[in-house]
Structure 1
Amino acid sequence: MNNSNSPKVALGTWAWGSEDVFGDTLTTSDLKPVVDSAMEAGLNLWDTATAYGMGISESIVGDLLKNYKREDYLISTKFTPQMADGSEHAVANMLEASLKRLHTNYVDIYWIHNPANVELWTPQLIPLVKSGKVKRVGVSNHNLDEIKLANSILQKEGISISAVQNHFSLLYRSSEKAGIIDYCNENNIDFFSYMVLEQGALSGRYNTKNPLPEGSTRADKYNKMLPELEALVKGLSDLGNKYNASVAQIAEAWAINKNTLPIIGVTKQKYIAETKKSTSIILADDEITMLESLADATNVETKGSWENHMN
């Protein structure tokens, strides 16, 4: 993806079929305008996973993209070790089910979703790459040692990791502090940053007077942090005024300016144009420093329950 024509963001579909996390029930008809607007805007990299809604997200993505030419979009999906079927071909079996739901015979990036057993799962990617069913290999939620171990396993067969996907936002920069982003830059690996907006807490749409909707795990997690986030959100808003951009656009632009490829969760058509604009905002170094100082001062912990510490 490291060329000028490559997408600068991926569109995330975690919320497509994950009502318990996000508090919404989204259908194919709800999401068709989102997909059509995104494709028209040139935002054609879609990130999903078998684990998102237990296959529901993949099914919706597949149904909505099947009328487009396959070469006109990119699909990123994941093997989740905790969902493995226990067979010696568990990765291949999970991929086959994903391919059926996605109405395709290959995926552009296939990820090991978390590092449950790097030595066990990583080698199973090799025949999938050699068969052409997987174009590129990625690892998600791995620390630097685990990334290097996975890479060493693949490189014995002439394959390399070409993407890393970790939680990375103004409020959670552990992959930077652990040297993972530097390692990616040095080895031509794309770093995909997820939860850049912290499930909406850094979108500018929520505050102490207007908290996240109750009844979801994200509300339980972030609503209690909203007082600490006020100064950071104001800093994002002030920069937004300068760049004629929203709070969310500045938070997304920060991630792009850090040489990462953010995965932006989209559930409504109106956010497509906003996401597109964020890819063209270039922040000054002192603005990046200011935002990171405000973020550090919040002193909140946003690590996901599924994540290990990166350092």
Structure 2
Amino acid sequence: MTTEQTPKIALGTWAWGDAGGDDYFGGNVKTEVNLRPVVDAAMRSGLTFWDTAYAYGTGASEKILGNLLQSYKRQEYVLSTKFTPGMTADSETAMSDMLAGSLKRLHTDYVDLYWIHNPTDVEKWTPQLIPLVKSGHIKRVGVSNHNLAQIKRANEILGKAGIQVSAVQNHFSLLYRSSEEAGILDYCLQHDIDFFSYMVLEQGVLTGKYNVDNPLPEGSQRAKNYNPQLPKLEKLTAALTEIGAKQCASAADVATAWAIQKGTIPIIGVTKAKYIADEQRAIKFKLSLEEMHRLESLASETGVDTRGFWEKPMTD
């Protein structure tokens, strides 16, 4: 990606997919009406990199985002969306067909960054990116949830056409550092590949907002996944809160700043305009090496495994 397109933080719209009936996150239904203030606040603040996917509510997230961004000129924002193997017909035009649908919902004729969402059959799907790049419908390509061997193989396949993997998007947080342990972060740094980290706040449990006495709202998938872990996370979230207080910042700001200082670009899901200011604080927040090590040690001590059901291990 160009320097101008490489953000400190990207804004994720996974939760917007609940409008399509996913109900993974729970809470209020996400609509264009209640998400417009989010888009407007972000754009005013210079947070203009938007990450979405067809898989987020089978197009619901893309549709909402595309409609809301119509108020802005196309060159004022950067769009990132994904091809998801397994959510399309098994045909020679599967990727181009899914991309065409995404472009229509996003009201554009190109995306700045297009990802293969999971590593199902790298040999089959990676080559299908090439004609889409050459046609101009995709400016850059990325791979998501891929391990190091799969990233290298994708780069080999694309390299024959003079294209390279521009970005990797994997789950990465204080509680889940497998991409670092597997050498993926180092590989990306050495090959000028942007590493986008998703679930940096672990769907809210690293914001300091939730604890044993105030669990995530029942009835959602994330509550089912994370509420049982809350007793083990109290020392970590307390440390995040304590460190943040020194600079008038929140626990979420600190967890996000940690991911930035690890050399990644956090993808932060925002559903309320008031949280845009938090992202600006996280960008400016500086952790000492001692604080970084303290947080990592406390995170390791939790023994919590937050790998998603869709993820395969990055290390053996």
- TM-score class, shorter-chain normalisation, is over 0.9
Q: Does 1:148 align with 2:152?
A: yes
Q: Does 1:284 align with 2:279?
A: no
Which residue number corresponds to residue 71 of structure 1? 75
Contact 1:2 1:190 in 2 (8 A): no
Which residue number corresponds to residue 305 of structure 1? 309
Aligned letter for 1:76?
S
Name the CA distance, whole Å, in 1 between partners of 2:6 and 2:229. 35
Aligned letter for 1:14?
W
Contact 2:5 2:78 in 1 (8 A): no
Residue 17 of structure 1 deviates from its aligned partner by 2.4
Q: Does 1:138 align with 2:142?
A: yes
Contact 1:208 1:227 in 2 (8 A): yes
Alignment of 1:157-236 (within 5 A): 157-236=161-240
> Which piece of structure 1 moves more, 36-45 or 282-291?
282-291
Name the CA distance, whole Å, in 1 between partners of 2:227 and 2:41. 31
> Which piece of structure 1 moves more, 80-89 or 26-35?
80-89
Q: Does 1:7 align with 2:10?
A: no
Residue 20 of structure 1 deviates from its aligned partner by 1.9
Q: Does 1:266 align with 2:279?
A: no
User: So what's the TM-score if we normalise by structure 2?
Assistant: 0.97
User: Which among 99, 102, 110 is matched to residue 98 of structure 1?
Assistant: 102
List gaps (5 residues or longer) in structure 1. none
Name the CA distance, whole Å, in 1 between partners of 2:272 and 2:99. 28
Residue 3 of structure 1 deviates from its aligned partner by 3.3
Aligned letter for 1:22?
F
Name the CA distance, whole Å, in 2 between partners of 1:66 and 1:130. 26
Aligned letter for 1:149?
R
Q: Does 1:23 align with 2:23?
A: no
Name the CA distance, whole Å, in 2 between partners of 1:295 and 1:288. 11
Runs of 4+, deviation exceeding 3 Å: 1-6
Name the CA distance, whole Å, in 2 between partners of 1:270 and 1:132. 36
Residue 5 of structure 1 deviates from its aligned partner by 7.3
User: Which among 222, 225, 245 is matched to residue 249 of structure 2?
Assistant: 245
Where 1:163 maps in the other structure, the secondary structure is: strand
Aligned letter for 1:35?
V
User: Which among 298, 303, 313 is matched to residue 294 of structure 1?
Assistant: 298
Name the CA distance, whole Å, in 1 between partners of 2:276 and 2:215. 23
Residue 284 of structure 1 deviates from its aligned partner by 1.1
Aligned letter for 2:13?
T
Name the CA distance, whole Å, in 2 between partners of 1:91 and 1:76. 15
Name the CA distance, whole Å, in 1 between partners of 2:293 and 2:150. 29
Residue 2 of structure 1 deviates from its aligned partner by 6.2
User: Which among 37, 46, 49 is matched to residue 45 of structure 1?
Assistant: 49
In structure 2, do the counterparts of structure 1 residues 2 and 69 end up closer, same or farther at CA, with 3 Å as the change threshold?
Answer: closer
Where 1:310 maps in the other structure, the secondary structure is: coil
Name the CA distance, whole Å, in 1 between partners of 2:271 and 2:11. 10
RMSD of aligned alpha carbons: 1.0
List gaps (5 residues or longer) in structure 2. none
User: So what's the TM-score if we normalise by structure 1?
Assistant: 0.98
Residue 266 of structure 1 deviates from its aligned partner by 0.4
Which residue number corresponds to residue 121 of structure 2? 117
- Residue by residue, what CA displacement relative to the aligned partner does 1:185-213 show, whole Å, maximum 9, x if unpaired? 00000000000000001011100000000
Q: Does 1:88 align with 2:85?
A: no
Name the CA distance, whole Å, in 2 between partners of 1:173 and 1:109. 24
Contact 2:148 2:183 in 1 (8 A): yes
Aligned letter for 1:65?
L
- Residue by residue, what CA displacement relative to the aligned partner does 1:255-283 show, whole Å, maximum 9, x if unpaired? 00001000000000110011111011121
Aligned letter for 1:286?
E
Aligned letter for 1:16?
W
Where 2:24 maps in the other structure, the secondary structure is: helix
Contact 1:2 1:188 in 2 (8 A): no
In structure 2, do the counterparts of structure 1 residues 4 and 129 end up closer, same or farther at CA, with 3 Å as the change threshold?
Answer: closer
Name the CA distance, whole Å, in 2 between partners of 1:4 and 1:60. 25
> Which piece of structure 1 moves more, 202-211 or 82-91?
82-91
